[in-house]
Amino acid sequence: MSRRVTWVFVLGVALSLASLIASSDQDAIAKLLRHDVGSLVLKIALVIFAGGLVLVLFREKLSKALEATLFWVVIGLLLVVGYTYRFELRDVTDRVIAELMPGHVTGRGRSVEVVRGNGSDFAVAAHINGVKIPMVLDTGASSVVLTQEAAKVAGLPIEVLNYTINVDTANGRTRAASVTLDRLAIGGLTERSVPALVAQPGQLKTNLLGMTFLNRLQSWEVRGDKLRMRGQP
């Protein structure tokens, strides 16, 4: 079938050229440059048959070339749109992750937001001295309080700590050691030289994000299932 179509276009081109040449005793090139009706019709026929011949001969290559061009045009447009709205897309991605992963910190700069977990507490993915430490918001705790395990991971000198400070925990009264955290970060919100306590071994199960950190902030609030914190400018 395709071979017959090819021959049809070949014959069409040949007949169109022959008609142009035979329709006048003028030179063929001069005939092609004329603008009378008959010449125009023959020119149109020549263009149609020549174009059809090209499409028939190269349709597979042209189809693949057009598909490849369309693919890269779409990719280029997606990249341009993604770069233009990169900040908005990052915020949307962070919010989606925060809803799916409670404790994940979202926000930009020194303003962060944390979504409440399945329980009633706000689990917060904090970084102490550059090490990721899971914490729980506790507005009733006057200080940031770490377990022995977390203090060790954060590089604190637990071997030389003096447990001289009385603290009340869910397990009753115990003693804790006073320390200073070089850096406590929650998302892009970072505070340095934060006073904290380290509980005695076995006396605390959860690291507490208490008031020695919260009081450093410009503002913080719990609204619905979200904890919002804003650092000092």
So what's the pLDDT on residue 40? 60
Total-model pTM: 0.57
- For the cut 60, the answer to whether the pLDDT of residue 139 exceeds it is yes
Distance between first and last Cα of the chain: 76
Give the pLDDT confidence score for residue 4 in this predicted structure. 60
pLDDT digits (tens, 9 = 90+) for 76-113: 777 777 667 666 666 666 656 555 555 567 777 788 88
Q: Looking at residue 192, what is its pLDDT?
A: 93
Q: What is the C-alpha separation between 199 and 149, in angstroms, rounded?
A: 10
Give the pLDDT confidence of 188-214 residue by residue, as tens digits. 899 999 999 999 988 888 899 999 999
Q: Where in the chain is the domain with CATH 2.40.70.10?
A: 104-230
Determine contact, residues 130/215, Cβ cutoff 8 Å.
no
212 is written with which tokens? 């020695």
Query: What's the pLDDT score for residue 145?
Result: 93
Average pLDDT value for residue range 125-138? 92
104-230 adopts what CATH topology?
Cathepsin D, subunit A; domain 1 (2.40.70)
How far apart are the C-alpha atoms of 152 and 199, rounded to whole Å? 12
